[in-house]
Structure formats: C-alpha cells, structure tokens
Amino acid sequence: MKANQRKAVVSIASIFICLTINCLDKNNLIKPGLIWPDTEGKHINAHGGGILYYNGTYFWFGESRLPRSEKDRSHYGVSCYSSKDLLNWKNEGLALRVIDDTAGLLLPGCVIERPKVIYNKKTGKFVMWFHHELKGQGYKATC
C-alpha cells in the first residue's frame, strides 16, 4: 500500500471513529425497557409529568424521585428537562424544590405528584399544578 493510500485509509478511519463517538453522545432511538439517559448519561428523573412546547423547545416537567437509599430529601421536587428533538433531554435542574421552612407547605417529606406546566398567553407566565400531600398527612389534608 502506498503512503497516499495509507493516509486516505487512516483519514477515513478517523472520520468514522469521530462520527461513531458523536453518535454515542446522542440518543437516536428510544429503547423500551431500558434506562433512558439524559445528555449527561444519567437516568431521566421526571416521573408522572408532562411536556410543554415553547419557543421551539420541549420542556418535560416531572416528579424528581429519590433513590430508596437517598436520605437527603432536599433534592426532591419537580425536575425540568429540555429537548429540541424529544429524544435527547438536557437536565435543567429542579423547577420546584422542597425547602426546609416550617412556614411553607413544600417541606422535605411532603408528596408532590403528577406535576403539569402550561403557558398562559394572557399573563405571559407559566403555571404549574400538581397533587400535593402535606408532610406526614397523606390524603388526610383533603378532608
């Protein structure tokens, strides 16, 4: 093999490797039954939520659930992910976080379920609603 041919083969192989690595960084299909990673490779944590489309971007709001072994309840709340293609989701953090403030109702240990977000054109604001159970009371607070 001549030197020019070897250079061409190496160049083609380099391009193939770069394309393969770039493809691995992005989801190109949903794999039922497997963990769906975000753009950082972490499991998407947005349970019971909904998706909002706003200004060319999809936003997924859902329950941020803690692993059973996790003791720090301050990481609990409503998570937000953004996507341009509905396959690749960037973790935007918590849109709503429980806080350790006895004057409030969103305390660590309360339950937040099925959060939804809409955009109100009239007010120009986003509105979130969810099922909420007060800390230690379960459905008792609804009676």
Instruction: Give domain 31-142's CATH architecture.
Output: 5 Propeller (2.115)
From the list 76, 109, 16, 52, the residue with the least C-alpha distance to 8 is 16
pTM: 0.75
| Sequence-ordered list of residues with C-beta below 8 angstroms from that of 112, at least 6 positions apart, any chain | 63, 76, 77, 78, 96, 98, 106, 130, 131, 132
For the chain, domain boundaries: 1-30, 31-142
Q: Whose structure tokens read 């240990």?
A: 109
Q: Return per-residue pLDDT of the chain as tens, 143 residues.
A: 666 555 544 444 444 444 333 445 688 888 888 889 999 999 999 999 999 999 999 999 999 987 776 666 656 899 999 999 999 999 999 999 988 888 888 888 888 899 999 999 999 999 999 998 888 787 777 66
